[in-house]
Amino acid sequence: MPRRAAIRRTRRSWLALGTALLLAFVAAGCTTTGADGADRAAATAASAGPAGAGVSGPLCEVLPAGTDPGNPASLTDKPVDVALQWIPVLTRFEAALRASGLAPELRSMKGLTILAPTDDAFAAKFSEDTLDKLFIERKDDLRELLRAHIVDGSRPLAELSAAGTVTTLDGTSVKVVATGTMARVADQADTLCVDYRAVNARIHIVNAVLGKLPTDADGGDHRSH
C-alpha cells in the first residue's frame, strides 16, 4: 500500500538521525535532575528550535516536519493508533499496540495521553525473545505494559508537569517533574518530543519503558537459535 511504503521510506531516512540525537541528548546530561539538569535540558530544547504544529523537544528536529509524511500537522485528524504508525521512532510501541488488541479501546476513549517509548528504549529494556513472547504469548502482560504508558484525558506536557503526578491506566501513580521545557517521568524517563496531537489524544515521546516488567536486555541479540 502507498501509505505503508511511505512509512518505510520515512523510517529509514529518519531513524538513524534520531538515534544519533538520542545519544547526544543522553551524553549532554539531560537525565539529571535539579537546577543544573533543568538548565541543561532547557538549553538543549532551545537549541533544537521550533518544530512546528505545537510539538517541541530535542528529538523533534530529526522527525518528519514540513510536508514530510508523518509531519505533526498531518496527524491531528487521525486516530491515535494510526498517528503512531507515522512517527518513525515508535515502531515497536505501535506494533505492541496492534499486537495487544488495545486500539479499539483507545479509539473509544474521549481523550488520552500516551507516554510513548522509543524503539531504543524498548531495545534497552527487553531482549528480542522477551518481546516475541509478549507479542505472541503474553498478551495480558503486554496490555498491562501499554496501560502503564497511558493517562486518561488528552493532556499537554505543561499540564502534566503542573499536576506533578498522574495516574496511568494500570493504576500506577507517576511523578512528572519539569526539567526546563521538557519533563522527567516516574524518575526514569525523559521526554524527547512532546505534544503530538491526534483526534482524541496527545503523544509524548519518552526515552525509557515504564511499568513493572523486569529489564532483561544487555545490548546483545537474545533470540534463541
Q: d(Cα 14, Cα 52) in Å, to the nearest integer?
A: 17
pLDDT band at 150 (very low <50, low <70, confident <90, very high): very high
Residue 212 belongs to a domain? no
Residue 159 belongs to a domain? yes
Q: What is the pLDDT of residue 218?
A: 72
Residue 158 belongs to a domain? yes
CATH number for the domain harbouring residue 77: 2.30.180.10
Domain extent, residue 182, equals: 2-206
Residue 218 belongs to a domain? no
Residue 153 belongs to a domain? yes
Q: Mean pLDDT throughout 128-147?
A: 97
Q: What is the pLDDT of residue 219?
A: 57
Q: What is the pLDDT of residue 53?
A: 63
Residue 161 belongs to a domain? yes
With beta carbons less than 8 A apart as the criterion, state whether 201 and 106 touch: yes
Domains contained in the chain, number: 1
pLDDT exceeds 80 at position 220: no
pLDDT exceeds 70 at position 33: no
Model pLDDT for residues 68-116, shown as the tens digit of each residue: 999 999 999 999 999 999 999 999 999 999 999 999 999 989 999 999 9
